[in-house]
A and B are shown apart, each in its own frame.
Chain A
């Protein structure tokens, strides 16, 4: 199994990570030898990314993920800290002891504070990472073993061997504790913070100034050797430059077709309700048992946690790679060529990440693509990436349309909340081709509206939690958005499939077995009926009834705050 991730955007801007690290280092009680705040003066993640290997994926659903990775890092990252230390060992020794049994030295414990600068470099990490994500319980990242192999500590006291050795030993010990205990706790806390509504406003405010700056586009550069899902080189003319990869040195291997197929089939199995799911031995998917929530994109925030920077960077499944190729290439497609599809792409794109990214490129249309490998029988198995612009395949189009059905009720209630939104909404209506991918960007461009949306989302029905998720994404550093959004697209699209009529569209397009087809048709009709009901119930454009319906749904559904 192979995957690819972008390391370059992580290097670009570390000021936010530096600030977070500074606060994290000063939050916990410091050892008595440190008598001043620890300030992270320099943080460079280096140009060499860590190597990640997927060992096991235990659970995979729209709101859950559990997997084990093998990580090894031998990069050139470095970190510089500045603080003041107490040089008198007697002083630090006595400061932790009760005064009653203290020898109470007269002046032998007098303090001597020395400014200290420590540089950590040549970090060698190797270990197994267990990543568990659950929408309810946040994100847990645990190192199964001690990941720190070696580390070079250089400090102000390098000339004194005793002090140097002492510092080396102490810092290694502290880092081990950090990796094993503190880091999982910090990440978990941060993930909870991202999902809990009361912290979001805070994040939003903190982020407001950041948002005025141009977000770092992870996909700014073209990969030197981009390949599509089938290993074919992507034509630079058709697939646009939003695809990623910084330097030519960073060559990513083309992924095997076999694995792509397998994963695609896996996600298809959730999407289509097909009885003939691919045989994955000794695997039980919780998604089968539990009815997935209609809200998709729940996974996204997990991936966008800025704190997870490096870990996260590596976290991209082969699936996301495939979809990233597809979505990236379609991003620049002109919608005018096929207006019907335009509105379709909206939902899934908006859910994931498009938000931050497309804000600055409003002209670009964002479409969500599913690599539907089941169409092989139809002979339209070309990857979307290469074909969408010219020959939109039948299979993708209907499914997107289906998504629209779901999306409309979601979007309209928001419109009633404030005029800005409705303005945009009307814009969208007037221009059917307008990519819904722009929707999530709205909170960014209008910071004042964000709290409104959040307030609403916390008190209204679950579908609105999209907005919340989006804002969460915006809160996270722009660096990481790019990494995850593609994946989200994928996830959300598959999730949507379970409840929305797109199923039948995809069924129709994909000629499965007769049994399968019959079953699917039946299911699809039922689902379509439900969706229609929902739509008629929730969607009354241009009337005050929106409020009424949404409030009535308040009573039915718990606010998303409780869902999350």
Chain B
């Protein structure tokens, strides 16, 4: 489950029309959400508030043996109108599961953003500032996010921690989303890492597509094929990394059940990874991943699933069935009937992760455990519970 501040940041992306999915970094976001989810450790409480549409605060108290906590503040120049109160928020916003890749959006024209007043441009670029301090450790996290133009975004993240080399690290990321393709350039102060990521979407170019295919809806593609690559080079330690990847995913207009396939290859290290995710129903998503290294012949197989459990309405079930599709059903929008979301994963080494998330009254809860059946003496690797409340 996303924590409050991550939720606010996704809201900022949405409000500023930034497509997070159109990036090589999120190529296999679905598989990661279903297989690599974090299980909580210990007890964690979070109290948050979006005090004003532009300002959010969050306090976290955790206990894993020792009590620690964090205080975070966020400022957004763009008013955020999404519902953030735990009693009302949409669970789909905070629970990462199967990701429906949307149709590519045509980038805004530059002049759309111009606001003139009295002969002067008064429009401002959307900016998000975020800081978080972890208290006993005195670790500081900072984020600066700025939409430079309709197709560009600058993201600077920094961590200050005395235990790190040079006392901290800064990562600058310049992202460009041009619809048909996207690019990312990055620089990290740590060992002078330079990076480049690119993603290319096959198929019609959204910048010209509307005029071509507007009259022929039947021929519109039901899926999209994307290819990308990434390249890293550490200037100071003279080391690098490279990977390429492919993805095929169905689009919302696909008639059957949605599915996503990805294949990533690291030619330097000989690592081949393929994932297949399918949304088998409105409440169920399944995912599998096979890793294979053709240098060391090591392989790894993982399965994961996400299941939304909904309460039965009992005696009014028949009445709901008779509701006409176009009638408004307020309960469905608020996920009131969701009793919980189960996520589980298992791999071929019998390591199991289980997560149960949901909402009780005004609280969001996450209960999780990770198990290792191979280690008999210590089966439970981590057990934890997280509670969130925001107003």
Binding site for B on A (CB under 8 A): 87-90, 93, 97-98, 100-114
Contacts and interface: CB of A to CB of B under 8 A. Distances in A.
Interface core residue of A97, A103, A106, A114 (most chain B CB under 10 Å): A106
A103 B193 contact: yes
B374 to A, nearest CB: 15
B230 interface: yes
A88 B195 CA distance: 16
B243 A106 contact: yes
Interface core residue of B195, B234, B243 (most chain A CB under 10 Å): B243
Interface core residue of A87, A112, A113 (most chain B CB under 10 Å): A112
Interface of B: 24-25, 27-28, 139, 141, 157-159, 161, 164, 169-171, 173, 186, 188, 190-191, 193, 195, 197, 228, 230-232, 234, 237, 239-243, 245, 264-266, 268-271, 273, 291, 293, 295-296, 298
Nearest to B264: A107
Interface core residue of A88, A97, A101 (most chain B CB under 10 Å): A101
Given A98-B161, A106-B230, A107-B265, A112 B293 contact: yes
Given A89-B234, A106-B25, A114-B296, A100 B141 contact: yes
B118 to A, nearest CB: 42
A317 to B, nearest CB: 46
Given A111-B269, A113-B298, A106 B188 contact: no
B243 A107 contact: yes
A113 B291 CA distance: 14
B157 A97 contact: no
A111 to B, nearest CB: 7
Contacts, number: 100
Given A90-B239, A103-B186, A103-B188, A110 B266 contact: yes
Contact of A87 (B139, B234, B269): B269
A334 to B, nearest CB: 56
Nearest to B173: A103
A97 B169 contact: yes
A89 B188 CA distance: 15
Contact of A101 (B157, B239, B265): B157
Contacts of A90: 232, 234, 239-241
Given A89-B237, A101-B171, A103-B188, A112 B265 contact: no
24 contacts: A87-B269, A88-B269, A89-B234, A89-B240, A90-B241, A93-B191, A97-B190, A98-B141, A98-B164, A100-B157, A101-B158, A103-B186, A105-B25, A106-B24, A106-B197, A107-B243, A107-B265, A107-B273, A108-B232, A108-B243, A110-B266, A110-B269, A110-B271, A113-B298
A108 B193 contact: no
Contacts of B295: 112
Do most interface residues of chain A lie in helix, strand or loop, or is the interface mixed?
loop
Do most interface residues of chain B lie in helix, strand or loop, or is the interface mixed?
strand
Contacts of A97: 164, 169, 190
Contacts of A101: 141, 157-159, 169-171, 188, 190
B143 to A, nearest CB: 8
Given A101-B170, A112-B271, A114-B296, A106 B264 contact: yes
B20 to A, nearest CB: 13
Given A88-B241, A110-B269, A110-B271, A98 B232 contact: no
Given A101-B157, A105-B195, A110-B271, 11 more contacts: A88-B269, A89-B234, A97-B164, A101-B158, A105-B230, A107-B243, A107-B273, A108-B266, A109-B241, A110-B269, A112-B293
Contacts of B245: 106-107
A100 B170 CA distance: 10
A-B pairs, top 10 by smallest CB distance, nearest first, are: A108-B241, A89-B239, A110-B271, A107-B243, A90-B241, A107-B264, A112-B269, A108-B243, A101-B171, A101-B157
A262 B338 CA distance: 91
Nearest to B171: A101
Contact of A105 (B191, B243, B273): B243
B199 to A, nearest CB: 10
Contact of B239 (A93, A98, A110, A112): A93
Contacts of A103: 171, 173, 186, 188, 193, 195, 232
Contact of A108 (B27, B170, B171, B242): B242
Contacts of A112: 269-271, 293, 295-296
B159 A98 contact: yes
Contact of B273 (A102, A104, A110, A113): A110
Contacts of A93: 190-191, 193, 234, 237, 239
A93 B266 CA distance: 17
Contacts of A104: 25
Nearest to B27: A106
Contacts of B237: 89, 93
A408 to B, nearest CB: 50
Contacts of B188: 101, 103
A100 B157 CA distance: 7
B173 to A, nearest CB: 8
Nearest to A113: B296
A112 B293 CA distance: 7
Contacts of A88: 241, 268-269
A97 B273 CA distance: 24
B169 A106 contact: no
Contacts of B28: 106
B230 A108 contact: yes
B269 A105 contact: no
Nearest to A89: B239
B169 A98 contact: yes
Contacts of B27: 106
A226 B265 CA distance: 71
Interface core residue of A88, A110, A111, A112 (most chain B CB under 10 Å): A110
Contacts of B170: 101
Contacts of B264: 106-107
Interface core residue of A93, A104, A105, A108 (most chain B CB under 10 Å): A108
A102 to B, nearest CB: 7
B115 to A, nearest CB: 34
A157 B190 CA distance: 28
A89 B164 CA distance: 18
A511 B256 CA distance: 113
Contacts of A108: 230-232, 241-243, 266
A107 to B, nearest CB: 4
A87 B291 CA distance: 17
A352 B136 CA distance: 51
